[in-house]
Every structure is written in C-alpha cells, then in structure tokens.
A and B are shown apart, each in its own frame.
Chain A
Amino acid sequence: MNWMQTVRMAVKSIMDNKVRSLLTMLGIIIGVAAVITLVASIQSKATLTRLQFEAMGTNRISVMGYGAKTQDWKQMEELLDTTLKNRINGWSPQSQYYDWSNKGLQYRTTKLDGQKYTTYMYYGNENYGKVTNNVITAGRDITKDDCERQARVCVIGETIRKYFFGAMSPIGQQIRIGGKSFEIIGVYKGKFKGKLNTEDQMVLMPYTLQSTMMSIDRNADKQYIIQAASKEDIEPILTEITSLMDPKCTAGGGWFNADSEARYQDQQEAAAQQDALLMGGVAMISLLVGGIGIMNIMLVSVTERTREIGIRMAIGAKRRDIISQFLIEAASVSCCGGIIGIIVGCFGSAIMGNIMLAKQLEEQIWMPEVEQFTVLPSAMLIVGAFLFSALLGIIFGIYPANKASKLQPVEALRTQ
C-alpha cells in the first residue's frame, strides 16, 4: 500500500480528533521540550565557559608572588626564554598600576577617575597583547624598543577610546595618566563591545615605566601572564617555574602562586557534557511515558476501528498493510508531538538560557560578547530529538499494530 496515502490519512485523523491527538502527544511534547531545554542550556553554559577562557587568554598561566629578589624574577624570565621557549607562545609582566593619588586618566579637560569608573592600567611588554588575546585595531602595539627606551607610550582599550575620542583618531594624541603625559600608539579591539567598567577599560604601558610611575615597594608582588603553546604544556611549565620560584619567594618571607584556569577547562567541559547526558536521560523518562500514552491510544483506536480493519481485510489488505497503517499513524502522532516539542524546547532553552546568562553576568565581569550569545539547541540535538520521537512512535506502535493485523476478517466484520 502507498505509504504517502497512509501518512495523509494519519494526519487527517490527527486533525479530525484535535483534542484527543493533542492529549496523546502531550507526553512526547513535554519530553522532547524538556530534553532540548536542559541539554541546550547545559551545552550553552559550557560554550559560555569556553568563551570566557578564550577572552582571558588561550592557555593562560597566571603567575603571582612576592618575597623573591629582582634577580630571582630575572632568572625566571630567562628560564621562560630558554628552557621553556618551545613550550610557550609568549609571556609578559602584568603589573597593575596603583593609582594611589587617584589622578585617573585625563585627555584635555575630560577626566575619568576612580570616582566614576575604575580603569585597569597595566605594565606589560611587547607580548602583552598576544598573551591576553587582545588585537590591535588602530596604530601599533608596544614594542621591545619601547620597553628598552622607557618610551612614554600607551595602548588604550576600546572603551577608553570611545570615552575620550569618539569618532576622532586617538593615535598620536597625548593622554595624562597619573599626572604624566603619554602618547597613544594603539588601540585594542573591544572584547566587551565597549561597555564602561569592563576589562576593555584598560591602558597598557611598557613595563619598564613602572619604577618611574610609582614608588615600588620592595615586597610588592610581581605578576606575569604566560601563554602556553598548548594545553599539554601547561603542567610542565607550572612545575618548572614553581620549583624555581617557590623556594625563593618563601625564603624571602613571601609566597608564590602559578596556576592556570585552562587546566580545569577540559574537566569542566567534560563535566558539563556529563550533566547534559544525565539531565537529558532524566527528561527521556518523560518521553518514555509519552510513548506509553501513544501505545494506549493506539490500542483504543484498534478496538474502535475493528470493523474498519475487517473491511480493509475483506477488500484485500494484507497483514503488513494493516501493520504499516497503524505504525505510520503512531509515528505520525509522535512526530507531530516531536515537532511541537522542538518548538517549545527552542523557546524554553532561550528563556532558560537568558535567566542563566543574567545570573552568570551578575556573578562575574569576565563575560565576553554576551550580547551576541543566544542559547539555542544545536542542529544535531533537534534532528536527534525528532528521530527519537519518530522511533518512539514506531516502537510503541508495534504492539497495537500487530494486534490489529491479527484480527480475523470474519470476526472483525461482525463487530459493530
């Protein structure tokens, strides 16, 4: 028998009994929507975490410590440039500028100080942009030469550029930092769409200027950022520099810490995948219940339509024609339920995802480009959910369909 005809007839019978069909599908709808919402939300959260890591710098290692002497730190820098050269993409100091007198930033008469918003001001070297995943959009980055000459230059973040210059080009302009004049040589592209009070609100100066900009306490902590060449290199680097610096810092009465968030990235992603699987599995139980609902209604349908089955058999339907008719009907019901469930699930994950995003935004500032981030189920998830609901209809349709096909024509015709 022509299966397109059967599908059309099945869809017609669904449309003829709207309320009943909807109630039958409800289990599948809820199940599919739940699976999609949960899995999509969890997967999106994992994506978000990854974006966060990438914004901080790929394979980033943060080094922090105090108590060691300047030549000890020099020794670590040498270690990075020699033994560990192949294991790293680059390193840079990342000392923060402490604006004790709160002079803030000033361009001509416009001022931006701590009373308004905190500006992040760093001393770095020529690798700073690279290791923090910052990209120059105008002008140039700090060079090795700038550092050696102790040039009074700086690179500003996108937010600062917007705040002071608007449509004007900032390159070559003089800006006052802590009361001293600096030439702007470049602009970093915004990671956060140029919103105030984000990490984009930053200024980078050559690290060699640190001593002229502020009095450095002998015990002031030193900070470095290192970008490992790959995830596998993170552990050896950590071991090497910790074994070198930790005793020295401790001996000087200080402490040393080197760590990388990226170390936990894989574990976190794996954990998120496991969460998705677990939650999806729980939601699938409701799909199972939906399937049983379909089986129930199909059994009722077989009983109701015994006479129809008898007529069909009398005029020449074979067992497999009857089986395929009821299987296709069951699959049509579950597929319709699946499609509605997918639509509900898309809305559900968008809503759930936005709540989740809002919560995450409250908790941390490291949220890259969240404006572009929408939580939607992946294509694979949608296709998977659809196929699974179709399969469910077929599996739970087998018993009623088989029952229908085993009716004897004479007796089926006799029922009223």
Chain B
Amino acid sequence: MFFKKKRVIEPQAPANKSLLIEVRNLSKIYNEGKENEVRALDRISLEVPWGQFLCILGQSGSGKSTLMNILGCLDIPTYGTYYLDGHEVSSMKPSVLSTIRNKEIGFIFQGFNLIPALTAIENVELPLIYRGMPANQRRELAIKALCSVGLEKRLDHRPSEMSGGQQQRVAIARAIAAKPPIIMADEPTGNLDSRSGAEIMQQLIALNKQGTSIILITHDNKLAEVAQRVITIQDGHIISDRAGKGGVF
C-alpha cells in the first residue's frame, strides 16, 4: 500500500506551536532508486504562521501541486517532517489524516470537485456528515455557508444546473461550512472567466480578513500578488520567498 513507503530518517526537534505549518526537509520522490526517478519536491523547508494568506507560485510540473497535496494531508512525504498545528502529520494513520482533512482543512479545487448526483446543499453538508454532525445542525450550517457565498437561491440545484462560477462558490461554501482554520485553494480560478474568477478571489480575501489561513496555489503571477506572501517553486525547490501586495485585487 501507498502509505508503507513512508520513512522518517532523522529525529526532529519539537515543533513550534505558534506556527500553523512547519515543514522541514520535505521531499517527495516518485520511483525512488529507479531509472525514472522523479524528485517532485526536494528538501523543502517552510514555516507558515496562523492567519497568513500564502501563495505558492509555480509553473506546471514545478511540484506545487505535490506540495499542496502533502500540506493538505492528501499525500504523505517520502522524507522529511510536516507539523500541522504542532502535530506531526507525516507519521499519522490514514484514518487520522481523514479526520484532519475533515476538521482542519477546506479544499477548493480547480475542477470544483462537486459530487454531480448531489444538490448544492447536500454537497456542502457532506463534510459535516462525515464529522457525524446531527442533521438539523449541519443543514443550518450548510445554508449559512451557501448564503455567505450568495447562493441562497440555488440550494437545491445540482452542479450540472449551475455555471462554473456558481459551482466554485458551492465548493467554497463546502470548504468553509465547518469553519476550518485553513483553506487550500488549488488554481481556484483556473476554469473560470475573469469576472467569476475575481469574485472567487474577493471571497478568499474576505475569508482571510476573518482570520482563516489561506494557501493559494497558482501559476498566475498577477493572481499571486493578492497574497501577503508569495513562495515560488521551481523543479521541486523554493527559489524565492517574498511579500506580496496583500489583499488588493
């Protein structure tokens, strides 16, 4: 199985509890030791404090998606350690990772990733269902989340009955319904026209202002400037780490 590959080589110093994310010497290597070995991430170290709007900028194939998958606990690193809110994530069992994804992280994907058979409200309720929340409470939270993204009239529409911008707003509602401390957005505007894209970005900025940490992954230099901090990745290495303009779009 996939998770058996995990190896932690050197013992690490205790994590800094004040940091949201602390990554040390993180590597992700596919087909290690074989001819077609790919170092998607090569000894990356990174610290992210609470409440930051961080952008990971990189071209296609730079390793930025791999980094997001690891930061989002969807994947585990080959080497290195990853502390999320002070917890060592890279050694956790899949079921614990599921719980972390459920409670700590809200995902927004480029392809929206809504379940086509479910209505908007059912899609938003889904993470709350997996959390084991009672029906009336989760319905209330889902409606609240959908209202906050301006979709109060689309509660019972299926994804196929909505525009791309609306679908992405449902995805945002799903990500924020449970009020996770982190939102990870992977090219959230990639499939949208510029107007819908701008709306989505405005919403991310607003969320950040309310205190949610945001990690935005993009290949778009202009979009990256929205963030407070921009990290550029190339060939699995961080090549620059600078401040963005922050909050202006």
Residues of chain B within 8 A (CB-CB) of A5 are 129
B82 lies within 8 A of chain A by Cβ = no
A315 adjacent to B74 (CB under 8 Å): no
A410 lies within 8 A of chain B by Cβ = yes
Known interface pairs A1-B130, A410-B69, A413-B109. Does A316 touch B102 (Cβ–Cβ under 8 Å)?
A: yes
The count of residues in chain A whose C-beta lies closer than 8 Å to any C-beta of chain B is 26
Known interface pairs A311-B113, A314-B101, A318-B98. Does A409 touch B131 (Cβ–Cβ under 8 Å)?
A: no
Known interface pairs A13-B117, A315-B126. Does A2 touch B135 (Cβ–Cβ under 8 Å)?
A: yes
Interface string of A303-315 (1 = CB under 8 A from B): 0000110111111
Q: Tell me the bound Cα distance from A411 to B135 in angstroms.
A: 31
Q: List 5 A-B contacts (CB under 8 A).
A: A311-B115, A312-B126, A314-B113, A316-B131, A409-B74
| B120 CB, nearest partner CB in chain A, Å | 14
| B101 CB, nearest partner CB in chain A, Å | 5
Interface residue ranges of B93-117 to A (CB < 8 Å): 94-95, 98-99, 101-103, 107, 109, 113-117
B135 adjacent to A410 (CB under 8 Å): no
Interface residue ranges of A1-36 to B (CB < 8 Å): 1-2, 5, 9, 12-13, 16
Q: Tell me the bound Cα distance from A408 to B72 in angstroms.
A: 14
Q: Tell me the bound Cα distance from A87 to B116 in angstroms.
A: 78
A321 contacts which of B117, B118, B130 (Cβ < 8 Å)?
A: B130
A270 lies within 8 A of chain B by Cβ = no
Residues of chain A within 8 A (CB-CB) of B116 are 308
A319 lies within 8 A of chain B by Cβ = yes
Nearest first, the 6 A-B pairs at minimum CB distance are A316-B102, A315-B127, A316-B130, A318-B98, A409-B74, A311-B113
Interface string of A278-311 (1 = CB under 8 A from B): 0000000000000000000000000000011011
| B178 CB, nearest partner CB in chain A, Å | 9
Q: Tell me the bound Cα distance from A410 to B113 in angstroms.
A: 13
Chain B residue at minimal CB-CB distance from A6 = B129
A406 lies within 8 A of chain B by Cβ = yes
| A10 CB, nearest partner CB in chain B, Å | 11
Residues of chain B within 8 A (CB-CB) of A315 are 101-102, 107, 126-127, 130, 174
A361 lies within 8 A of chain B by Cβ = no
Known interface pairs A2-B135, A410-B69. Does A314 touch B95 (Cβ–Cβ under 8 Å)?
A: no
Number of A-B pairs, beta carbon distance below 8 Å: 69
For the complex with contacts A1-B129, A16-B117, A314-B72, 15 further pairs of A-B residues with Cβ separation under 8 Å are A1-B130, A12-B117, A13-B117, A314-B107, A315-B107, A315-B126, A316-B98, A316-B101, A318-B95, A318-B98, A318-B99, A319-B95, A408-B2, A408-B75, A409-B74
| A133 CB, nearest partner CB in chain B, Å | 62
Residues of chain A within 8 A (CB-CB) of B72 are 314
Chain A residue at minimal CB-CB distance from B97 = A409
Q: Tell me the bound Cα distance from A268 to B123 in angstroms.
A: 61
B98 adjacent to A317 (CB under 8 Å): yes
Residues of chain A within 8 A (CB-CB) of B74 are 313-314, 409-410, 413
Chain A residue at minimal CB-CB distance from B104 = A316
Q: Tell me the bound Cα distance from A318 to B132 in angstroms.
A: 12
Interface residue ranges of A371-416 to B (CB < 8 Å): 406, 408-410, 413
B130 contacts which of A13, A307, A317 (Cβ < 8 Å)?
A: A317
Q: Using a CB–CB distance below 8 Å, which chain B residues touch chain A? A: 1-2, 69, 72, 74-75, 94-95, 98-99, 101-103, 107, 109, 113-118, 126-127, 129-132, 135, 174
Q: Tell me the bound Cα distance from A285 to B101 in angstroms.
A: 45
Q: Tell me the bound Cα distance from A288 to B174 in angstroms.
A: 42
A319 contacts which of B75, B94, B118, B131 (Cβ < 8 Å)?
A: B94
Residues of chain B within 8 A (CB-CB) of A13 are 117
Q: Tell me the bound Cα distance from A311 to B170 in angstroms.
A: 14
Q: Tell me the bound Cα distance from A16 to B118 in angstroms.
A: 12
Residues of chain A within 8 A (CB-CB) of B2 are 408
Chain A residue at minimal CB-CB distance from B106 = A315
Q: Tell me the bound Cα distance from A320 to B94 in angstroms.
A: 11
A316 adjacent to B99 (CB under 8 Å): yes
Q: Tell me the bound Cα distance from A16 to B75 in angstroms.
A: 34
| B78 CB, nearest partner CB in chain A, Å | 14
| B13 CB, nearest partner CB in chain A, Å | 29
| A416 CB, nearest partner CB in chain B, Å | 8
Residues of chain B within 8 A (CB-CB) of A409 are 74-75
Residues of chain A within 8 A (CB-CB) of B95 are 318-320
Residues of chain A within 8 A (CB-CB) of B135 are 2
Chain B residue at minimal CB-CB distance from A5 = B129
Residues of chain A within 8 A (CB-CB) of B129 are 1-2, 5
Q: Tell me the bound Cα distance from A5 to B114 in angstroms.
A: 18
| B95 CB, nearest partner CB in chain A, Å | 5
Residues of chain A within 8 A (CB-CB) of B101 are 313-316
| B5 CB, nearest partner CB in chain A, Å | 11
| B19 CB, nearest partner CB in chain A, Å | 23
Residues of chain A within 8 A (CB-CB) of B109 are 413
| A355 CB, nearest partner CB in chain B, Å | 46
Chain A residue at minimal CB-CB distance from B116 = A308
| B100 CB, nearest partner CB in chain A, Å | 8
Known interface pairs A316-B103, A316-B127, A413-B113. Does A406 touch B1 (Cβ–Cβ under 8 Å)?
A: yes
Chain A residue at minimal CB-CB distance from B103 = A316
Residues of chain A within 8 A (CB-CB) of B131 are 316
Chain A residue at minimal CB-CB distance from B3 = A408
| B58 CB, nearest partner CB in chain A, Å | 17
| B211 CB, nearest partner CB in chain A, Å | 21
Chain B residue at minimal CB-CB distance from A320 = B95
Residues of chain A within 8 A (CB-CB) of B75 are 408-410
| A61 CB, nearest partner CB in chain B, Å | 70
Q: Tell me the bound Cα distance from A410 to B102 in angstroms.
A: 15
Residues of chain B within 8 A (CB-CB) of A317 are 98, 130
A318 adjacent to B113 (CB under 8 Å): no
